[in-house]
Structure 1
Amino acid sequence: MRIIGAGTREGEVPTLHETFWTVPNLITAARFALVPVFVWLVAVGHDWAAFWVLVVLGSTDWIDGYLARRFDQASVVGQWLDPLADRLSLIIVTLTLVIFSDAPLWVLLVIVGADMVLFLNASLLFGGSPELPVSVLGKLRTAALLVAAPLVLLGRTPELRETAVTDAGVVLLALGGIMHMGAALDYLLKARAKAVRLRRDGIEPRDRARWSTTPAAPAPPSS
């Protein structure tokens, strides 16, 4: 069974819809709307409820991509909305775990710091997203963090407090942070290499009309 890129229809060129009103985009919006619910549940100590919210967040992150590929519902909005929602959700969830649990602060600093470098690099070089595909390391990083966060939460519950679950969650969270640095560096190098290739072909990278396949949009990192 294909996990990465699930739903891809081999041999077919996907349509890039202009409308926001696609099922994947609605799922993405609903996913991000659950983030403040998660923060509130953790803050008031409803860890099991927060755990299930995280499960929904993690599963819908895969589902919206699957639906977009399987049913040809990719959209211009979805190309920047999905990674933007993912990254903001990841930062807010990690920040919440740092404040209310044993999650290490350095993981949050790594995520935010790397994303700021990527954002500034993309803005200065391309005036927006360099439109690079998400790397396998980036997907593995996201998977590690999506598994780590619920484990950290479970380690806060009375039933599992001071057990191996807590340690496993923190270790996996740290591993996700390390992979995030690697994915960010890989994306940074690929973005700069793309800028060099465009200039070699006589194209200024900030002149997006000459190379971009999508209209100008925010530049969330895609590492």
Structure 2
Amino acid sequence: MAGQSVGAQVWTIPNVLSMLRLLLVPVFLVLVVRGAYVAALVVLVVASLSDLLDGYLARRFDQVTRLGQLLDPAADRLYIFAALVGLAANGLVPWWIVVVIVARDVMLLALGVVLANHGFGPLPVHQLGKAATFALFFGVPVIMLGLAFPAAQPVSEPLGWSVTLWGAFLYWWAGIIYAIETVRVVRIPRASGPAASDTLEQGG
């Protein structure tokens, strides 16, 4: 929310909810690997609802924190990775889609190191990146829905795959935008450090 302060607290209710959501990731992964797709979907629904709740509470009670801003996207990515890894381990999705998704985040991690070495923080989240994450977070569970309820598979499988592949494309498109922005930022002369920081904060 525009103009809302970002705190440094750790033990806030929204952060605790985010931590609990992260703790459910290995449970979710085990359920997917074991083929317990109904139970896995229940865990995913609980995690998604907690995500909505902690976001609402953080804004409602002015408890937006830097830790929360890190935990939320991390949890989203881990659930996507866990679902893809579990499905790939069962031979239900090809491993290349897992590699494609993970490789993009490895690239972003490398870009973060480059930015840090030049005295900059992480780049602002691009709207395209948000759309890509949403597409993946929607598409992969839809694929799982067909596995949990075979009657829905004729609809859920093509829908889930089309959204997931589109999300993977957008994921890399956003990654390329981040890479271009990183190159632009690190080329800013050190003498204009404060101005460079302002430029970075206004990006995205």
Question: Relative contact order (C-alpha < 8 Å, sep 6+): which is higher?
Answer: 1
Contact 2:4 2:62 in 1 (8 A): yes
Distance 1:37 1:198, change over 3 A: farther
Name the residue aligned to 2:123: 132
Residue 186 of structure 2: which of 195, 202, 205 is its match?
195
Change in Cα spacing, 1:60 to 1:118, as seen in structure 2 (3 Å) is same
Give unpaired runs (5+ residues) of structure 1.
1-7, 214-222
Q: Report the counterpart of residue 168 of structure 1 in structure 2.
A: 159
Post-superposition Cα deviations, 1:43-68, rounded to whole Å, max 9, x if no partner, equal: 33321111121222333334333332
Check 1:75–1:129 CA distance in 2 against 1; reply closer, same or farther (3 A cut). farther
- Closer/same/farther in 2, CA of residues 68 and 178 from structure 1, 3 Å limit: same
Equivalence for 1:45:
35
Q: 1:24 aligns with which of 8, 14, 17?
A: 14
Q: What is the deviation of 1:109?
A: 1.1
Contact 1:103 1:152 in 2 (8 A): no
Structure with higher helix content: 2
- Equivalent positions of 1:94-113 (< 5 A) are 94-100=84-90, 102-113=92-103
- Tell me, in whole angstroms, the C-alpha distance in 2 between the residues paired with 1:125 and 1:202: 13
Give the structure-1-normalised TM-score: 0.76
Amino acid at match of 1:171: S
| Pairs aligned (count) | 200
For 1:162 and 1:93, the matched residues in 2 are separated by 17
Q: Given the two structures, how large is their TM-score scaled by the length of structure 2?
A: 0.82
**RMSD of aligned residue pairs (Cα, Å):** 2.9
CA distance in 2, matches of 1:155, 1:70: 36
Identity of aligned residues (%): 34
